[in-house]
Structure 1
Amino acid sequence: MTASNLVGNSVFVCPPVLASYTPSSAVAATARVLHVINGEHFSGAERVQQLLGRGLPKFGFEADFACVKQGKFPELCGLPEQRVITVPMQGRFDWTVVGRLARVVSDRKIEILHAHTPRTALVTSLVAQKTGLPWVYHVHSPTARDSTRGTLNRVNQWIERHALRSCQQLITVSRSLRREMLRCGVSRKRLAVVPNGVPAIEPIQTHLRQNESTWRLGLIALMRPRKGVEVALQAMKLLKERQLPVTLELIGGFETPAYQQRTLALLRSLGLEDCVHWSGFTNDIPSAVRGLDAMLLPSLFGEGMPMVVLEALAAAVPVVATRVEGTPEVIRDGVEGLLAQPGSATSLAEKLCQLVQDRDAW
């Protein structure tokens, strides 16, 4: 693997083989790992899981995936069908999933369990107890600040802490998440930081912008309140009032139909139909990134290490993001991109103005 040093942290760009994976490229497996995931969405964490599925066979690990929710992962991950199964929970308290997963473990001769969410951490801890297998937990974002629903965050954090008592090893995708786990009482010897990585994107952005041309901004995400979509729209309203030549494309699905309706209603009420467009979900992030002049990620609170930021940097596309956990580990303000204050449309608009008006720097 190759690495470039950003903010004192190794951010890996995966070798090209991971971008063009075929099952025949795998070496003989020495251990079988079952990744227990939610599976309902296909966003940043799921792309990490996809890359693990492609990359681990190269290192002698056969990776299978069990989704505990019906959803998009089996269809979109691009892994062989026999490697991805759905073992659905019929609600939050459907503990029959433990026995069903234990049978999967036995049938597939699984040797290691690997969980990726608070829900699957609890389930996996029970499966590990039943089967006697070791298990690993992958921390993708701060559970205590994972959504705008405070009560749900607290419940999920309690579940996570309870489950992790029996976990042999935790992997965090950033140093900020390692600090978070230390604050939660996890011992140092159980923690390892493994930064996210992305396949190299070719061709990278090389064209020089013309002074009179319009900047095409993109916000690529699973659209939900924590991503700051409303702040982005309010910032675009300020830029429109200043007559700056920018457009914004919202690329990604919405978490719920209700949130989609509220967001698109706000877009219309701000009079932004001529400069903000929603193009929906895409599974081809590299092509989406290559078509942008800059990438926008106005997260309201803690990220882990956003995959879409790494994908933009891999394509030499500047990023305007917010100063929340995780993101400053890969974006230095004024170097790889610009950092605004989270939740502030004014701050975000100022950073976007700086980007457009100092276009020669990018």
Structure 2
Amino acid sequence: MIAQEPRILIVTDKCDLSETQWILGLHEAGARVAVACNPAGRYFGDLDAAGIVRARIALTGRFDKTGTRQIQQVIDDERIDVMHCFNPRALACGLRAARGRKVAIAAYRGVIGNIDYLNPESWITFLHPRLNRIVCVSDAVKRYFLGLSFLWMRLPERKVVRIYKGHKLEWYEGPPADLSAFGFPQDAFVFCCTGRDRPGKGFRTLIEAMDHIPDDMPVYLLLVGKLDENAELTDRIRASRHADRIKLAGFRTDAPQVAAACDAMVLPSESEGLPRVVIEAMAYERPVVVTEAGGMPELVDDGVEGYVVPVRNAKALADAFIRLASDRDAATAMGQRGRERIGREFTNEATVRETRVLYQDMLDELSL
């Protein structure tokens, strides 16, 4: 039982579903939560209906003076004890807004990289000496921060914590998407890959993996995202010996349902925090093939919920595809175990519980 509830301000932008439910879960559990967020967000109405929105802000950068004043006003009006900033813009503005005020500050981090002691921008965000906690989405992100160093400078271990971004299985019970427009044959084993067109996502390795698939093995790929705008990638697809088996779905607002309509999910990334698309596919009972990058091995045990392969290894990817496509019963069982694991280890309830403990710890330190 928490004796004294801290007054919390969460500063974010356009919340996704899990982040929105994280915030609402805190509110419903009795936490004294105020929110400053972007009214253009898809789930803003849910936060507003809960009566916890105190400022409507759409930060334009890390030096947004208007947004900083709005955050500062909420800190003063609500007598905030702990501020939790969910993105770098919010963090930079929030840190300035908290000047001269007795407020403990936490920052959420969902990716690996781009923080450095020699980078001035890092000192106005995650390396700022005023920052009390960095809340990492995975153990991999936590290890990254604890591994940062320059001369005598390192982050103290107590400053970096891991809290998984939780989900609820009932979010993933909608009907699968209709894939008939893509013309997959009846015996096709379709792997879905959802991702942004960015370096390090492993699409080159993925296309190369298709060259290792035997002609008599009906493995197909469905790529979801704005990948059709990447000329180099589309050229590689055309040059593939199985070019006819690789389909581009473009940007989709129903990406989780597209994954549910496929037989398996693949994410060949070279760096990841804790990818939502993998969690979504697992929640839809789809086996997954992922690389050893970042937090993905925290989601998937090799051979249990899917397969974990080395980064940039096209042959290993292809072998995993073949194993899954060759034994559909085993693939189905892996998918079932994946859903069970999400429902057991990556729940919204655990996220809320661990976050409340974090806030209490921060309040206790503030009182010292």
Provide TM-score, normalisation by structure 1. Answer: 0.71
Match of residue 307 from structure 2:
338
2:7/2:81 contact within 8 Å kept: yes
Could you tell me which runs of 5 or more consecutive residues in structure 1 were left unpaired when the two chains were aligned. 1-29, 146-150, 206-211
Over the matched positions of the two proteins, sequence identity in percent amounts to: 24
Secondary structure of the corresponding residue to residue 226 of structure 1: coil
AA aligned opposite 1:142: I
Secondary structure of the corresponding residue to residue 338 of structure 1: strand
1:204/1:290 contact within 8 Å kept: no
1:162 maps to which of 115, 121, 127:
127
Q: Rg bigger for which structure?
A: 2
Shift of 1:328: 0.9
Distance 1:158 1:242 in 2: 53
CA offsets, 1:279-302, max 9 Å, x none?
A: 4232562x333212111111112x
Shift of 1:200: 0.7
Task: Decide whether aligned partners of structure 1 residues 306 and 356 sit closer, same or farther in structure 2, where only a CA change above 3 A counts.
Answer: same
Distance 1:85 1:234 in 2: 48
Taking the TM superposition and a 5 Å limit, the aligned residue runs for 1:34-73 are: 34-39=9-14, 46-61=16-31, 62-67=33-38
1:204/1:315 contact within 8 Å kept: no
Of stretches 265-274 and 115-124 in structure 1, the one that deviates more from structure 2 is 265-274
Of stretches 332-341 and 169-178 in structure 1, the one that deviates more from structure 2 is 169-178
Secondary structure of the corresponding residue to residue 129 of structure 1: coil
Aligned length: 307
1:33 maps to which of 2, 5, 8:
8
AA aligned opposite 2:136: T
Structure 1 position 244 matched with structure 2 position 211: no
1:178 maps to which of 138, 142, 147:
142
Distance 2:248 2:279 in 1: 23
Task: Decide whether aligned partners of structure 1 residues 88 and 217 sit closer, same or farther in structure 2, where only a CA change above 3 A counts.
Answer: same
Shift of 1:324: 1.0
Distance 1:308 1:192 in 2: 23
Structure 1 position 225 matched with structure 2 position 199: yes
Match of residue 94 from structure 2:
124
AA aligned opposite 1:325: G
Shift of 1:274: 4.8
Distance 1:175 1:141 in 2: 11
Match of residue 291 from structure 2:
322
Taking the TM superposition and a 5 Å limit, the aligned residue runs for 1:176-325 are: 176-184=140-148, 185-201=154-170, 213-239=187-213, 242-253=215-226, 260-270=230-240, 272=243, 274-283=245-254, 285=256, 287-301=257-271, 303-325=272-294
Secondary structure of the corresponding residue to residue 243 of structure 2: coil
Aligned alpha-carbon RMSD (Å): 3.5
Distance 2:141 2:309 in 1: 21
Shift of 1:351: 1.7
Structure 1 position 74 matched with structure 2 position 41: yes
Provide TM-score, normalisation by structure 2. Answer: 0.70
Shift of 1:180: 2.2
Secondary structure of the corresponding residue to residue 221 of structure 2: strand
Match of residue 102 from structure 1:
72
Distance 1:269 1:263 in 2: 10
Distance 1:306 1:294 in 2: 15
Shift of 1:338: 0.6
Distance 2:163 2:294 in 1: 16
CA offsets, 1:113-167, max 9 Å, x none?
A: 211233432222222225432211122122348xxxxx9x95654554432x212
1:34/1:66 contact within 8 Å kept: no
